[in-house]
Structure 1
Amino acid sequence: MPGTETARGKMMPRMRCTAAASATAVALLAGVLTGCAYEYDEGLSGEGGGPSAAPTRSDAAIPQDPSLNQPVSGAELDAWVLQVLPDAKGETFHTGFGSLEADEERGDTTAQLPKGTYALTLACRSARRVSFSIENGETELVDLSLRCGTSRVSVVTLPDDAILSLKVDANAPANYAYRISRI
C-alpha cells in the first residue's frame, strides 16, 4: 500500500474513505436522529391511565360551552351587558343594547357629540356573527362583522358636533351592546 513519509522518516499507511465507511456513518447518524422524537401523552397520567388533573387551556375568545353564545332576555340580558360593557374610563355619551331576530336590523342615532377622541365598544351574543355599522354623516367609521363571544373597541376622532348613526343586524337571533365614550 502506498504511504507518505513523516518527519521521522517512517512510512505511515494512507487513509482512504470508502463508500462503505460513508454509508455506515450516514446510517449511524440517521439512527441517532430517529431516536429524537416527541411523544404525546394525550393528557394521560403515567400511573392510572386516566385523564391528568391539570386543567386544559382554551382560547379565551371561544367559549367552551356553546350555550354561552345563545341570546338571552330580561335580567340575563342586563347582566350580560354589564359584563361586556364594564365601567368606562372616560365619559360615556351613548349606550345601547337589545335583541335581534334572524335577518332583523336596528338603527340608532346619538345626540351631537363634542369634538374629541372616542372609544366605540361593540359586543354581541349569538351563534353567528353580528354586523355593526357606525357613520358620521357620509363618513363610515366602523363596518364590522363581529364574531360573537368577543368585544371590539374602535378608537375614532370626531369633529365638533358629530352625530353618529348606528346600524346593527344579524342573520340569526342575537343580543348586541354598544357604548360610545370619550377617552
Structure 2
Amino acid sequence: MPTVPASRVPRRRTPAAAVVLSVAVFLGTVLSGCAYEYSADHWDDESTSAAPPPSTDAALPQDPHLNEPVTGEELDDWVDAVLPDAAGQVFQTGFGTLEADEERKETTAQLPKGTYALTLACRSTRRVSFSIENGEDELVDLSLRCGTSRVNVVQLAADASLSIKVDANAPANFAYRVSRI
C-alpha cells in the first residue's frame, strides 16, 4: 500500500494576535524608560519631621474574638472607648447586653427643642439594629455593623421624648448617647 505524504497547511496570523503583540512591544518599550525620582530630603535619615508610616501587615487577620460581647468591667471599658466625651450637653447614655433575638426598648427624658447627636455602637459577631423614634416619626433606622460607631444628627422642632429600640440576632453589647450639639 502506498503512503500518502501529509500535507502541511500554512499557519496564518490573525489580526488580533498582531494587535496583542504590538501592544505588548509598545508597553515594554514605554515602561522600561519609567523611573521615579525622590526629592533630595526624602532619604535624610536625620530628619525628625517625617514620621514612619503605620505598620500594616495584611498577613495578620483580625482577632475573631474582638467583637464578642463582654460583661462587667470589660463592658464599662468598652463603653468608655466607643462613647468618648461629648462636646455638648449629654442628656442620656445607655448600654447593656442582649441575648440572641432579644429586643430592648428605652425612652429618654423630655428633651428640649434643638439639635442632637445620637451616637450608636455595638459589639457582636453580627449586626445590631437601632431604631429611634419621636412619637410616630422614625428618626433613625439602622442595622449597624459592630466594631464601628455611628453618629446621627437629628433636629427636634419641639420638646420630645425619644423611644430607642435595640435588637440583635446574636448575643451583643450595645451603647448609645444622646447629646445636644
TM-score greater than 0.5 by the shorter chain: yes
Large movers: runs of 4+ above 6 Å: none
Counterpart in the other structure of 1:74: 72
| Structure with max Cα Rg | 1
Unmatched tracts of structure 2, length 5 or more: 1-17, 33-53
Q: In the alignment, is residue 33 of structure 1 matched against residue 20 of structure 2?
A: no
TM-score (norm 2): 0.71
Cα separation, partners in 2 of 1:25 and 1:179, compared to 1, 3 Å: closer
Residue 55 of structure 1 deviates from its aligned partner by 2.6
Matches within 5 A, 1:126-145: 126-145=124-143
Identity of aligned residues (%): 72
- Render the CA deviation track for 1:101-152: whole Å, top value 9, x for unaligned: 0000000001110000000000000000000000000000000000000000
Residue 175 of structure 1 deviates from its aligned partner by 0.1
TM-score (norm 1): 0.71
Cα separation, partners in 2 of 1:133 and 1:30, compared to 1, 3 Å: same
What is the alpha-carbon root mean square deviation over aligned residues?
2.5
Counterpart in the other structure of 1:112: 110
Partner SS, residue 69 of structure 1: coil
Unmatched tracts of structure 1, length 5 or more: 1-23, 38-53
Cα separation, partners in 2 of 1:108 and 1:26, compared to 1, 3 Å: closer
Q: What count of residue pairs does the alignment treat as equivalent?
A: 141
Counterpart in the other structure of 1:180: 178
Residue 66 of structure 1 deviates from its aligned partner by 1.8
Structure 2 Cα separation of the partners of residues 164 and 113 of structure 1:
8
Structure 1 Cα separation of the partners of residues 19 and 171 of structure 2:
67
Cα separation, partners in 2 of 1:165 and 1:26, compared to 1, 3 Å: closer
Partner SS, residue 117 of structure 1: strand
